[in-house]
Every structure is written in structure tokens, then in C-alpha cells.
Structure 1
Amino acid sequence: MDSGTVLTVSRLVNLLKELVEDNFVQVVVRGEVSNFSAPASGHYYFALKDDRHQMKAVMFRMHNRALDFVPKNGMEVMAQGHMSLYAQRGELQLVVDKLQPCGLGSQQVALEELRARLAGEGLFDPSRKRKLPAFPVTIGVVTSATGAAVHDILNVLRRRGSGLKILLCPVPVQGVGAAKQIAAAIQDLNRHAQADVLIVGRGGGSPEDLHAFNEEPVARAIYASAIPVIAAVGHEIDFSIADQVADLRAPTPSAAAELVVKERRELESHIDHLTLRLCGQMNNRLSLLRERINGLKNRLQGGLYRFDSSRQKVLDLLRRVEASMQVRLQDAATKLQLAAGRLDSLSPLATLKRGYAIVTRIGDNAAIRDTAELEVGVPLHLRFSHGSAEAVVTSLDSETFRQKPLD
């Protein structure tokens, strides 16, 4: 290697910059605007492309102020300016001084023609779109295995839908042949019929990056899918043909995952709400029952107190009755004793004890009170205080026997 011909990077870039800028002082380029952006600096950054190549372009604020329109992606324009080399990055770019619209670019025209043809065939018809299953178990995902979209989808499904099964079909989402592989993945998932719903999409990017989801094979595969499809292509402002054919469009991949578990989350939220209401009602019911139990307990304790008080009163009454009965029994016993004494004093037995006897006639047992009732030879029965005897009348004396009456 000849060390005398070795250039530094800066020297090579400067030489190329001089070469480009000296030979392309003024050029007019026709192409389609792509990747347009207008940051806060006021400059316009975009690319000009045709069906084979593209070139970066910049239009500084001092020049775009004179424009009466704002460039848009897909617009075909005539750009006048000069070529320059952006030294810091070594990138070739067209510095535009004047810009004139020419209409839609060829790719945009082809896209609109395809959109109109598919619409005429009914692929966008709202009446054919199906509702998502309320509680899907298996989710099919068709996207790049390395992009941000798959991570967003998986994070949402893991966080929001525990227990879900995810079938990932990794595919390229941009570049040559991407559309055919996306369509083939949708067809494979339908062939195996294991998924309840499909998420098809990718993260944000330029219109060229999203172009695979504007191609006919993807649209046909989504239309033919027996499994409901959610399209999630790019960001919220992006709207692809796949979005129009799908059963449901999500503004972002993570939003698609949210839609899949929406019914589940709403049901869980409803169950949580009902659980809180039930717990509240149960707590209120328990509090009410607790208060009633405490009230009954207090009433029972009051009843026991009154019972004890009444029991004491009953015992006092029993003692009083018993004492009263004792007094009355004693009085009755005394009276009975006095009556018995009096009765005893009036008893014939008491008279017998003083030496008298009761005389009855044997035969008719008639009591003899007068000698007129007797005759000589009549057998008599004599009752004494202790024992008795029999006698026979041997004589009679009718003389009256006077004596004080017995007490």
C-alpha cells in the first residue's frame, strides 16, 4: 500500500464536497416526497424518490417561507437547488431553493388505485367486520421478532391478561418480500386454527417502512382470515390498507393488546366493583347484627338483673310466708290444744274417770238413765274408765238421787 495516497476521512469528505458542489451548482429534480418532517427549527427535511432510488433533501427556513403549500408524503414535486455534501455525516443531499408541486407520485397513485379496487370488492365493508371474542385464550401475533412492537404487545398481555397463550409468528415487516411473508403467517395461523384472535402490525416508521401493510397480499390474507384480526400498523396518524380490511384497527401495537384484553379487564373491574360492594354490604350487615346482638345482650343482662331482683323478692316473700305460716300454725296448734282440752273435759270418758259408769241393757244396747227402764233380772253392761263388767238387776229403788250436775 502506497502511504503517499492515504487520505484522512476529513480530507476525502472535503474533496468530495468540492467536487459535488463545483459540478452540481444548480439542478432540477423531479420526485416523490417521502419521510417529510418539519421540526421546530423551521427547516424542511425529506427525501425525493422514484420507483428505484431516493435522495435526501433539505429546504432551509429562508427558502420555504416563500412556499404557498406544505409538502406531504406521496406528493410529486419539482425541486430546484444545488448538491451538497453534509460533511459531519458524509451524506450527499440536495439543498432545495425552490419547490413546485406536480401532483401525486406514482407510488401514491398506485396505492390509491389499489385502495379503490379493494373497496369496490367489499374488503372494507363494515358489515363484514366481526366482533372480537370476549375472553380469548390464545393470541396470534404476526410482527417482527426484534422490533419494539412485539415487546409492547407482550408487556401489555403479560400485565393485563395473565394466563393468556401467545403464538408469535415472526416475519419481516418491511423490505422486498415482506408482504408475502406477512400474508403467509396469517394463513398458517388460520390453517392450524389455534388462535382466538390475531394481532398483525408493526411499530412506527416512514411510509416506505409501512408499505408492506399497503400491499394486496396482506389485504387478501386478512380478508380471508377466519380468525378475527386486529391491525396495528405504525402510530395513530398512520392508516394503512391493512387497517381498513381488518376487523378492528388499533392506533398502536400496545393499544391492540389492550383491545384484546378489554373485555377481561372490564369483567375483572366489574367483579372487583361487585366484590367491594358485597364486602361493604357484608360489613354493614355484620355491623348491624353486631349492634343488635349487643342490644340483645344488654337487654338480657337487664333481664337477668330484673330476674335476680324478682328472685330476691320471691325469696323474701317465701320467707315472709313461711314465717307467717309458722305463726299461724303455732296459733292453730295452740287453739287446737285448747279445743282438745275443752273437748276432753266434756268427754264421757272424763266423767268415767271421776268414778262414774255407763249402764246399757244387754240385748238392745240401750243406755239406762232411769230405774223405770229396768226390771229385776235384766242383764246390764257396765262401762268404766278402765274396762267393763256385766251385772243383773236384783232389786230396784225408785228414790230420786239428787246431785249437782256435772261440768
Structure 2
Amino acid sequence: MPPRIPFQVELPLPKEGEPSESEFPNPPQPSLEKGGRRSGEISAPAAGEGSQNPSEQPPEAPQKKRSDKPLTVSQLTRQIRMALEGEFRSVWVEGELSNMSRAASGHVYFTLHDEESQVSGVMFRRAASALRFQPVDGLEVVIRGHLGVYAPRGVYQVNTSAMEPRGMGALQLAFEQLRDKLAKEGLFEKSRKRPLPFLPKHIGIVTSPTGAVIHDMLSVLCRRFQGIPVTLFPTIVQGNQAVPALVEGMRVLNTLSRTPPLDVIIVGRGGGSMEDLWAFNDERLARALADSRIPVISAVGHETDFTIADFVADLRAPTPSAAMELAVPERLELEASVQEWRIRLQRGMQQQLRSCRDHLTQAGRQLGSPESGIRQFQQRVDDLDMRLRERWQARVDRTRFALEEPATRLRLLQPSRQLPELRSRVKTLQQQLPKLVKQRLQAQQAQVEQHIGRLDSLSPLRTLERGYSMATTTEGKIVKSRTQVHPGDELALRLADGTVHTTVQRVESQT
């Protein structure tokens, strides 16, 4: 496919009979036989179908003659694998997903279970990459595949080639999963939405170059405001190659260097089924719209169609034609509005001029003769001069009075006035000093004698004078108890008038 490049759209517009945008047929679906089964496939039996009475035992198979050589584990596993793969070449199985894990190789491993049983499953990278939704634990699904045996562990598994959510289409589930993911990232927040220019100078369009969509948008542009340049990035809008082409269109228009520069981009296509519009639900396109430095209008399908691109774009238009109406104002309406504002401005200016003229006339009447005004001004100056002099004199008088009181106090505090009084006080103190010293000494002496008397009354020597004695050991320790001495110990008895040295003959307890 040759590379697509944006090109300037030149009017006149394409005619009504030109071919519409390309449609891509859906991939063929397997035909259903009567009863809802795919031809050549095996599905789980309905409830009660093919069931046996537990009491009825199947007839015993005729016993074969045992081979002389037993099978190895690998041989047994290989035979089981051949039997399973030959019998269950294509099966549809429904159940609940659990133990979901995606290996680094891209393979997806899971367990499919119901209330009574479970089976392991694997979806290899090629099939897993084709899933439109994200399989998670707890999701009810229907899988298609064939039975196989994983020899290293000796377990059978469903090698899955297709998976559909039960009760909800894969596209709807993928849409909701991506919507919730991008919403958590804040890509839908109103704070991210940028305002569109009032009158764009250059419009970029990413859509199919053929069909009614581009024709309708250019028709609306010519009708509303002809002359605004348009740059179209031609691209397919559905199919496997649509998303890379749309993302490339956003990248090219965001980096396009033209004069005047692009200031709004419209991304859109006509209506169709959810499968037809699926390119606008792709995460890659959503992030390209979010990263655009130019405001984006999403115009996909009809008013009832909602895509991820609508949530991410700065503005959603219900149809491509409405997108151009939102991007470009009506020239006639603008001209009428400008004319209305011109009339209102002229009226306002005329009213303002009349008001200013009236003010000038009134001011001229109030002004009168210049000489009269000068005399009034001179009289005003004289009055202000007189009031200024009076206030200045009053302030000087207040300052003089405030200074006289401290001066009087300073005069009273002169040293020459205080010296006689101080000399008299010194002379009096000199006369009283010996007497006061004597009185203080007598009082202190009396206190000392009183303390001596108290100490003397507590002295042990006074006790000895009353006939008592104090015994001490040879080490000088005072004997306070009989347990401190033993017969033969030498003691010193302190009396009031001397010391007697003695030897202990015996020790008796006081009874």
C-alpha cells in the first residue's frame, strides 16, 4: 500500500453521485446446524441427554489377552492423546474462568469450571492476541477448541482457538473494559477538555477520502463559512488496518507545518454496526487523541453511536455534518451579529457624545468670568494662610508649655539646691553611727551567749559532772552495748576530771 499523505482540499465540492466510503465484510461465521451446533463440531450434551441409570451397569467388554510387554507411561500418554485428539477435534465448552495467567511468551493459561467439574485450558499467543476483550477470573465464557494432552504432567486440556463472553458480546465487553481503564487514568476528565477556536483558521480532517462523510462536511463548510482552508488525511475507517492509519493521521496532522497552522481536527466516519465502528474503540487511537496538541472533535456514526473516541476527544459531535457545524460558525449569523454590534456601538458613541456635550455646556455655565474665579481663589488662599498661621501659633504655644514643666523640675533638682540637705543627713548619720554599731554588737553578743548556753547544756561534759562516765575501747569507739566488750578487753573510762584505764573482768546483762 503506498504511503498516505495529507492534501489540501480544493473546492468545488464532490458531486452527490460519488462512491461511498469503503465497507469491509465481516469474517465468515461457522454455519449452524439444526439445534444450534456447528457442523463438524461436538458440543456438551443437554441435560438428561445420553445419561444412564446409575443402577444399570454397562456390559463388560471382552477381556483382551494381556500383552507380554507393558506400556511405558509415554506410550500410554501418547495413545490417550491420539484418542482424545481424534475424537474431540472441535468442541464448544461453557463455564467460568479462574486461575487466569498470561505467560511471557504471550500464551494464556486458565481453568474452566462449573459447579461439579473443571478442565484446564490454554490459548496460544496467536489466538490470544486476536481477543477483543480481556479475559478475567469469574467471567462466564464459551470457548471453542480441541482436546489435547500435556504429556509432562499427563493431564488433558482444551487447546482454545476462540473465546466469547457468555451473555455479552466480546465487543461490548471490550468496550466497557477499555472505557473503565481509561476513565481511571483520567482521560475523560472535563479538566482535560480544551475549548475550540471561535473561528478556526485551518481545519484538519481524518476520514475516508471517498463517500458521503467528506462530501457532507465540505458542503456544510461552504454553506456556513466558505474560504477556511481544509487539510484531509485520507485513511480507511474500518478493518484491521484502520487503527494504524487513523493514528498515523493524528500524528501527521499534529506535526504538519502549514500556514495558517491547524487549530482544530475532526476525526470521524459514517454510521455502521459496532463491528464497523470498532476502530474508534481502540486504545491506540484513544491515546493518540488524548496526546493531540490540537483540539479534536470526534464525529463517529450517528447520534446514538458512542465510541471511546467520543469520550477522549475534546468535543463529541453526533454526526460528521454536526462536527463541521460545531467547528465553524455561520458567516451570515456572524455578519448579522457584527452589524448589530456596529449599530449598538454607534448608538452608544452618539449617546456618549451628547452626554459629554451636555456636561461641557453645564460646566461652561458654572465657570462664568475668569476674573471672578481668580478673586475667589485669592480669597481662598488668604483664608487658608490665616488658618495656617493660627494653627502654627497654637502648636508653638503647646510646645512651649510642654517644655516649661520639665525645665521647672530640672531647676528643682539642681545639685546646688540639694547639697545642704544632703550634708545635714550625713552629719546626723555620723552622730548616730557609733550608737547604732554598739546596739548592734550588744544584740549579736546576747545571741552568741544564748547559743553558747544551749550548746553547753547539750555537752556530754555536763553529764560527766553529774557523776556519769563514758567508756571507750582502745580504738576510741564509744561503748554503747555490752555486746561490744568481752572479758579481758581494755577500756578507757572518761570522767569529768580525767580518764581511768581498766580491764573487763566479766560481762553481765541487765535483768
TM-score per shorter chain, which class?
0.3 to 0.5
TM-score by length of 2: 0.35
TM-score by length of 1: 0.44
Is the radius of gyration larger for structure 1 or structure 2? 1
Higher relative contact order (CA 8 A, sep 6+): 2
